[in-house]
Structures are given as structure tokens and as C-alpha cells.
Amino acid sequence: MRSVIVVVASILCSAALADTVVPRDSVVNWVNVREEAVPGPTVLIVGHLHPGETAKFLGEESSYFEIEMESGATGFVHKFWTHRIAGSNIKIATFNIQIFGKTEAGKPDIMAELASIIRKYDIVAIQEIKNKEGSVPTKFLTEITSDGSAYTLVVSERSGLQPDDESSQEQYAYYLNTETLHVIEDAGSFDDSASDQFNREPYVARFGVNDGDFTFAVITVHTKPERAVEETKALDDVFVWAQDQFPDEDDFIALGDFNASCDFASPSDFVGSPIRDDYIWIIPDGTDTNVSTTRECAYDRIVITESAEEDYADNFGVDTSLSSNAVSDHFPVWAEFHTNNNN
């Protein structure tokens, strides 16, 4: 069985290019394929998708999937009547949503844009949830699923568990597409009570693909900028701790807002450290994950163990589609992994 542990400071995920779209079990006759992604009787019907037929997934727009039929014709089908089946790869992403609390959650346009970003990926780790009452993660899930998408979430307790960290408490959350992934186990927050290594303790959970042999555990962390070097180095200890929590796992991935760039860290700070020497850093040092146009900073990273390299599909990216820095001050970053890679 292939396994992976993901260390996340800001995580996000999407399905692979080989995904398909099929009618739901409730469809008896066919699903209309529309020329445009809008409802109403005036839209031209360009074809039908019948039970038992499969269409190539091209993208999504609002409440519709864009598809290519076997004839080669393209169009849109409503998500209520169809569902998307993941191909041979999944995308895992990380996303720090700046000061994600009641104020942000109270802006419909921003919530809609954030939800559309989450839907691009199979699993997303979110950092910087600042909501003492704990209502924002669930409200965001409602927004994500409002178009019929099948997502669920796993959410942490408030981080900053040590007395000197209480002024910086935040929550983490994982949002995952239940048509491609399932939750295996929630390990909770990393216990740093003995050494207080983190301002916001990393959060660990384990997931698996629905169709394939790939399982993985994720660790998400948002480092304190002024301690970015020390906390990033300490992720090596979190990997070890996560292995103890999930002894059946043999691959590990770290994604997140490490703040490991610009004023807070430089590549030379990690020379000779286990976190640099013993792991593979997928997001290069020169990558710009910072929304600001004044500086290019590789704050958000994806780091994997050598054992996870064979599961990595050699494809990563930065999602620069944010409309403005009102949505967040970080871009999501993602990496693609094989769902089946047993030799």
C-alpha cells in the first residue's frame, strides 16, 4: 500500500486532467448537454449524456461541469444530475486565507471566490482561521457545497496551546472532495508542550483515495514569521511524531505557509539541517507565492520525503487566479500525486 504524510501550512488540492463526468444513479433517461453554463429553456441543447456513458471533464463553471462527449462535441451539464470521477492523479494544495474570520465570511463575493478555488482540488489545507466561536469553517463548507459539490472537512482545535502562544491562536481545516478521497484518521495537534517549538502547533490527519492504493497523512502548519527558520526546521520532529501516530504510513509530504522566504528566511538558513537535507522540496526557493506585486517571496512550500517521490507526479503549480489581495495575501500552491503506483 502506498502512503504519504503531508505537512501543511496552507494546503489545497484538485482532481487530475483525466477526470470524467457521468450521470448520477438517479438519472433514468439522459442529462441535457447545454451550449452555455446557464439555466433556462432558451439555451441550446447540443447533446445528451445517457446513463452508462462517460464524458471527459474539461472544467467547471458555477453549477455546471464543462465536458467533451465521445463525439468530440463540448458543452455543459448540471452538477445536480452528474458527478465527477477522478482519474489516475489527484492534486493536493495549500492555502493561507488571510485573517479568515467572521468579517471575511460575511462577504458573499469573497466567499464565492474562495469556494471556487477549493473546488479545483481534491484536498485543501487552510490556515489562519481566526474565529473563536468556530462557526467559520462550517459556514465555508456550506458555501463550497452550495453548487452540489461533494466536500467535507476535518478541523483542528485552536492552536497556540502553550500559555505564551495564546495571543496567536488560529484553527486549521482540511477540505476534501468526498468523491475522490476519504478521511482515515484525525491525529489532532502536534504535542510540543515539552519544548514549545511552535507558536501554532501543526495539525495532523490521514486520508486515502477512494479508487487506488494511495494513502497519506497531512501535517498543516502556519509558522510565526519571526520564528520561521526555527519552526520550519522543527517540522522534522513533526514528521517523526506523525510516523508514530500512523505506523502503517511510509511516505510523507509537507505543504504550507512556512514563511520561509524574504525577510523571514533564506535558503542558507537551512543548509545542513534535516528538513533541507533529508526531504525533497517541490516548490523551489525562487517561486513567488506572495500576492503582493512589490516582492516575490516563496512563503508557501511543499516538501516530501524520499519515499513519497515515486508517488509524486512531477507536476506542481501556483494558483494565481485570485481577483485581488482582498481575497488573500497568499496564492494557493499545489502538487499532483498518483493514486496508483504500486510496483
Q: Which residue has the cell 496508483?
A: 340
Q: Is residue 153 very low, low, confident or very high in pLDDT (cuts 50, 70, 90)? A: very high
CA 214 – CA 54 distance, rounded (Å): 24
CB 224 within 8 A of CB 168: yes
Indicate where the chain has its CATH 2.30.30.40 domain(s). 20-85
CA distances from 321 to 113, 221, 225, 291, 327 (A): 10, 23, 25, 10, 10
Q: Is residue 1 very low, low, confident or very high in pLDDT (cuts 50, 70, 90)? A: very low
CATH number of 20-85: 2.30.30.40
Indicate where the chain has its CATH 3.60.10.10 domain(s). 2-16+87-338
Residue 282 in grid coordinates: 517541490
CATH class of 2-16+87-338: alpha beta
CA 61 – CA 56 distance, rounded (Å): 15
pTM, to two decimals: 0.75
Query: What is the average pLDDT across 143-161?
Result: 88
For residue 244, report the phi and psi dihedrals to the nearest 5 degrees. Answer: -65, -35
Among candidate residues 176, 223, 174, 220, the one with its CA nearest the CA of residue 197: 223
CA 187 – CA 185 distance, rounded (Å): 6
pLDDT tens digits, one per residue of 222-235: 999 999 999 999 99
Q: How high is the pLDDT of residue 193?
A: 76
Mean pLDDT of all residues in the chain? 87
Q: Which residue has the cell 482582498?
A: 326
Among candidate residues 130, 89, 125, 118, the one with its CA nearest the CA of residue 255: 125
CA 147 – CA 111 distance, rounded (Å): 13
Q: Is 82 helix (H, G, I), strand (E, B) or coil?
A: strand
